[in-house]
């Protein structure tokens, strides 16, 4: 069966998604292409369609997976660190189990350390996150060498684990 699909902009995700009009019991509904490909029910929000590459118009089956809302957040390309003007340092943090875990501060020239700390924590706390894809996206977006970022992640792993362990001890 052939359908007429159209792209619709979603301001909250700042991306386009593919939809088609679908009639069910005489009522018109918009059906999302990714959800249709994964055979997800129209109104079932307990499961979501996740685009691994972050390209919401790439609806090939190999780029899609079924996830919960929380798992879908693990695939987000949040930087995980921000510049703090007052202290003139990068502050690194990550959300896990509805709690914000601070991972440390890094001096201006060490933005790659801040990113590595975040990616290391993400690997530990968000096991469903597609790390290979996120790793490539970071390298591409910030023009970093893959080998340098991987080495830096290994360097900050101990400190990052200490912050996570300390947080878990305070908030069991």
Domain ranges of the chain: 6-68, 77-170
- Which DSSP string corresponds to 20-88? EEEEETTEEEEEEHHHHHTT--TT--SSEEEETTS-TT---GGGEEEE-HHHHHHT----SEEEETTTT
So what's the pLDDT on residue 47?
94
Rounded to whole angstroms, how far apart are CA atoms 157 and 110? 15
- Contact criterion met (CB below 8 Å) for 103 and 117: yes
So what's the pLDDT on residue 77?
62
Query: In the 8-state DSSP scheme, what is residue 104?
Result: E
So what's the pLDDT on residue 34?
95
pTM: 0.65
So what's the pLDDT on residue 76?
63
So what's the pLDDT on residue 157?
87
Q: What angle (nearest 5°) sits at the alpha carbon of residue 46, between those of residues 44 and 52?
A: 105
So what's the pLDDT on residue 90?
92
Rounded to whole angstroms, how far apart are CA atoms 117 and 2? 47
If you average pLDDT over every residue of the chain, what do you get?
Answer: 87
Q: Which residues of the chain have pLDDT under 50?
A: none
């Amino acid at each position: 069966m052939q359908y007429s699909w159209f792209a619709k902009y979603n301001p909250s995700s700042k991306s386009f998604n593919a939809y088609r009009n679908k009639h069910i019991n005489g009522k018109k509904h918009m059906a999302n292409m990714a959800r249709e490909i994964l055979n997800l029910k129209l109104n079932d929000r307990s499961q979501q369609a996740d685009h691994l590459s972050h390209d919401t118009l790439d609806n090939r089956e190999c780029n899609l997976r079924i996830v919960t809302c929380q798992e879908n957040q693990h695939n987000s390309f949040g930087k995980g660190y921000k510049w703090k003007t007052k202290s003139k340092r990068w502050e690194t943090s990550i959300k896990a189990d509805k709690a914000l875990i601070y991972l440390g501060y890094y001096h201006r020239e060490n933005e790659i350390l801040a990113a590595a700390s975040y990616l290391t924590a993400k690997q530990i706390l968000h096991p469903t996150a597609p790390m290979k894809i996120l790793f490539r996206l970071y390298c591409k977006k910030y023009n970093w060498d893959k080998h340098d970022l991987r080495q830096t992640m290994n360097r900050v792993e101990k400190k990052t684990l200490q912050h996570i362990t300390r947080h878990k001890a305070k908030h069991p």
